[in-house]
């Protein structure tokens, strides 16, 4: 981080971010990118307990035109999601005490949130049984570390899919 400041004129902040190696095969589900444009709109709920990851996702989606609501605690997120009624929910699958799985199960069974689209964020080394459980209840998933454009395209596709189903 670099800062240049002149009294009475203002400050200029420069942040240098290192690039991260891309993890091959970011998802097991293919999303067509040809019909997607970068005209994003809609509401996305983000359930993520790691501030750095949540900030990155919020900045990416907000810059693309989405209204993003960050919910830190999975145990209270269900009530908030039912009230907010987002088109898409992004859930960190590795929330403490299997909250990602349990929350997704509840959301799918609820008459209020059953149709919402769910994108799980996970790790490539997720045990097979957990990966199978996840794939049964989510609409799509991404491996961490996320690639910004991949996140955008997947969220846009899920929001469009939600809107088309109404």
pLDDT tens digits, one per residue of 123-142: 999 889 889 999 999 999 99
Domain boundaries, the chain: 40-165
Sign of CA dihedral 81, 86, 87, 88: negative
Mean pLDDT throughout 116-120? 97
Angle between helix 74-84 and 99-109 (nearest 10): 30
Taking the model in full, what pTM does it have?
A: 0.76
- Does domain 40-165 correspond to CATH entry 2.60.130.10? no
């Amino acid at each position: 981080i670099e800062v240049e400041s002149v009294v009475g004129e203002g400050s200029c902040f420069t942040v240098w971010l290192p690039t991260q190696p891309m993890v091959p095969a970011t998802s097991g589900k293919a999303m067509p990118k040809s019909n997607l444009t970068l005209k994003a709109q809609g509401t996305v709920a983000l359930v993520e307990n790691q501030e750095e990851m949540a900030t990155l996702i919020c900045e990416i989606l907000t810059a693309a035109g989405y209204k993003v609501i960050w919910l830190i605690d999975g145990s209270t997120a269900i009530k908030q999601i039912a009230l907010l009624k987002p088109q898409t929910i992004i859930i960190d699958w590795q929330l403490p005490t299997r909250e990602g799985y349990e929350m997704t199960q509840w959301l799918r069974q609820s008459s209020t949130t059953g149709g919402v689209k769910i994108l799980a964020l996970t790790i490539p080394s997720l045990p097979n049984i957990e990966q199978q459980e996840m794939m049964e209840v989510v609409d799509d998933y991404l491996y961490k570390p996320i690639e910004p454009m991949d996140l955008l395209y997947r969220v846009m596709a899920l929001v469009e899919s939600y809107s088309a189903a109404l």
